[in-house]
Amino acid sequence: PAPGPTGFSPSLGHVGFPRKSGRTPRIITDSEIQGSKDAVIQDLERKLRFKEERLSNGQPRVTYEEKMARRLLGADNAATVFNTQQSEEEPSTQEYKVSSFEQRLISEIEFRLERSPVEESDDDVQHDENAAETATAPYFHRKLKHYKVFEGMPVTFSCKVIGEPKPKVYWFKDGKQISKQSEHYRTSRDPDGTCSLHTAAASLDDDGNYTIMASNPAGRMSCTGRMMVQAVNQRGRSQRSTPGHIRRPRSRSRDSGEENENIQERHFRPHFLQAPGDLIVQEGKLCRMDCKVSGLPTPDLIWQLNGQTIRPDSAHKMLVRENGVHSLVIEPVTNRDAGVYTCIATNRAGQNSFSLELIVAAKEMHKTPTFIEKLQNTGVAEGYPVRLECRVSGVPFPQIFWKKENESLTHNTDRISMHQDNFGYLCMIIQPALKEDAGWYTVSAKNEAGIVSSTARLDVHTQWQQTHPPKLKKVRPSASRYAALTERGLDVKAAFFPDSSPLPPGTLVESDDL
């Protein structure tokens, strides 16, 4: 009988025993037994060809298939299964899972590609940009897989992309676009949307991340597959190599070498994902320059001002946040900090930099508000007008806030109005005064340099009942511009500031600092 799919003969387990069907048993010959054994060995060779060793408690884990192969073939012969020529039905690659770091790197490449311009695509695909409203964004019905191969083997990345209109397709390796004229890579596309990237013989330089990006007027989508190319001097083959054969060195790919050799770390040149532009900062303020850089190993950053390296001190600090953002903080900024700043990122793979100009604006002159004349305690008979006045100065001119007890006075009313002129005179006019107007009044002046307040008491007295109008009092001449306002019956608002007008409603705002 012919061997089954796994290489075992269906009747091998019934040698010399009669079948239940009553047929005469047939003796299995030595050649048939040897053929079944060869089939088992071939099956083990296929499994060992792309076997990835996993560590368990610090020691390589030997599978059942490998134990059987070593028992049948011997330790040395089991290791040489990588020398055999693969048959047509044998797979050329092995799918594997990427590490968390590689997955972050893949995500970063896809993020950059979906936001970057591209140069070339399929010649037979044309898009009408006006059809974006009816278009369907591309999506991947089947994504790229991750493969581990040995150098010299053929590799094919394949996926299926769907979109309306038919998306344009671009291929990239480690973020760099693969040209359609490339002799090493061959791209193809089927009518059902299946896209493929094929190389006939993988080299050590092919180790990396391969990204396909699909684009139409409705949007962009990308996915990435990882290819790890391993050297063929695995499992002790190096000692069987032809004498005098010298392998070319590798600097950017993984090489497992002997069983106990660690995988070398890949190197990526620094790349700035975020960088600030030119800045204008007022003298005395805080300046912060943020940037974000990628690279492997993690790059070292230095900051320079006009070509001179900046050293950390009380006014200059270099910070690194958990999300990878590097910052140069300057506080306070002085005229000496103006100039061209350069940030240089360096690691073993190379270096990268960006520059910006910092302009320091002259500091504005500030003067704390002060009261030239403060509020004075005042008493008035009920029904008569009264004013509370003062004078303030400051640069820039301060904002004015009035309060009665703990209640802010922000709007003018028919009876109470607040005024100020360009010379710093402030006045609150109450006409007529009522008993409920008595209390403590506070006026505050605030600008960027500080805040000051002045408080005074207003008392309102009850009038004695009289049967005849009060006699007119003679007003003693006075140099005060407000002396004429003390008698009842005058237009107090017009007499107080003939050239000024009351503040419109809504111009006074309560301050949280008062």
Calculate the average pLDDT of the chain: 75
Whole-angstrom distance, CA of residue 310 vs CA of residue 457: 58
DSSP structure string for 317-349: EEEE-TTSEEEEEESS--GGG-EEEEEEEEETT
Whether 37 has a pLDDT exceeding 90, the answer reads no
Q: Which of 37-51, 129-143, 197-211, 426-440 has the highest mean pLDDT?
A: 426-440
92: closest CA among 176, 7, 191, 158?
A: 158
- In one letter, which amino acid is 126? Q
Beta bridge partners of 379: 459
Is pLDDT of 390 > 50? Answer: yes
Residue percentage of the chain with pLDDT more than 70: 65
- Distance between CA atoms of 406 and 146, rounded to whole angstroms? 71
**Beta bridge partner(s), residue 324:** none
Residues 6+ apart with CB under 8 A from 300: 345, 346, 347
Bridge-partner residues for 160, per DSSP?
142, 194
Could you tell me the pLDDT band of residue 130, with boundaries at 50, 70 and 90?
Answer: low
Count, in order, helices (H) and strands (E) of the chain. 5, 30
Written as six digits, the tokens of 6 are 């796994």
Task: Answer for the pair 263, 340: CB distance below 8 angstroms, yes or no.
Answer: no
Domain residue ranges of the chain, discontinuous segments joined by +: 12-83, 95-230, 283-361, 367-496
Instruction: Give the lowest-confidence range in 36-40, 332-336, 411-415.
Output: 36-40
**388 or 512: which leads in pLDDT:** 388
Q: 375, exposed or middle or buried, with CB in 10 Å at 0-12, 13-18, 19+?
A: buried
Averaged pLDDT for residues 15-44: 64
pLDDT value at residue 106: 82
Is 95-230 assigned to CATH 2.60.40.10? yes
Cross-sheet strand order for the sheet of 450-461: 378-381, 450-461, 439-447, 399-404, 407-409
pLDDT, tens digit, for every residue of 58-93? 445 555 556 655 655 555 555 544 344 333 334 445
How far apart are alpha carbons 235 and 491 in whole angstroms?
Answer: 109
Q: What pLDDT sits at residue 242?
A: 38
Round to whole Å and give the CA distance between 105 and 39. Answer: 43
472 vs 156, more confident? 156
The average pLDDT across 89-105 equals: 66
What residues form DSSP beta bridges with 339? Answer: 358
Question: What is the reported pLDDT for 459?
Answer: 94
443 band by pLDDT with thresholds 50, 70 and 90:
very high
Cis check for the bond before 312: say yes or no (omega within 30 of 0).
Answer: no
CB burial of residue 197 (10 Å; 0-12, 13-18, 19+): buried
pLDDT at 467 over 70: no
Q: What amino acid occupies position 49?
A: R
Confidence of residue 473 (pLDDT cuts 50, 70, 90): low
Provide mean pLDDT across the span 130-141.
Answer: 78
pLDDT at 500 over 70: no
| Range with lowest mean pLDDT among 96-100, 182-186, 359-363, 424-428 | 96-100
Least confident window among 35-39, 225-229, 376-380, 392-396: 35-39
Q: Given a cut of 70, is residue 243 above it in pLDDT?
A: no
The whole-number pLDDT of residue 463 equals 77
pLDDT of residue 449: 86
Cα of 368 vs its chain's centroid, Å: 42
**Predicted local distance difference test score (pLDDT) of residue 343:** 95
Over residues 13-42, mean pLDDT: 62
Instruction: Count Cβ atoms within 10 A of the Cβ of residue 272 and give its class: 0-12 exposed, 13-18 middle, 19 or more buried.
Output: middle
Residue 44 to residues 11, 30, 63, 65, Cα–Cα distance (Å): 21, 21, 11, 6
d(CA 144, CA 452): 70
pLDDT bucket at 137, cuts 50 / 70 / 90:
confident
DSSP for 202-241 reads: --GGG-EEEEEEEEETTEEEEEEEEEEEE-S--TTGGGGS
Q: Kindly report, residue by residue over 280-325, the tens digit of the pLDDT.
A: 998 888 999 999 998 888 899 999 999 999 999 999 999 988 788 9
- Cα–Cα distance for residue pair 88/147, rounded to 1 Å: 19
Tell me: the pLDDT tens digits for 327-383? Answer: 999 999 999 999 999 999 999 888 999 999 999 988 777 889 999 999 999 999 999
Percentage of the chain with pLDDT > 90?
Answer: 31
Mind giving me the DSSP string for 436-462? GG-EEEEEEEEETTEEEEEEEEEEEEP
For domain 367-496, give the CATH superfamily.
Immunoglobulins (2.60.40.10)
Residue 249 preceded by cis peptide, ω within 30: no
156 C-beta neighbours (distance < 10 Å), count: 14
- Report the CATH number of the 283-361 domain: 2.60.40.10
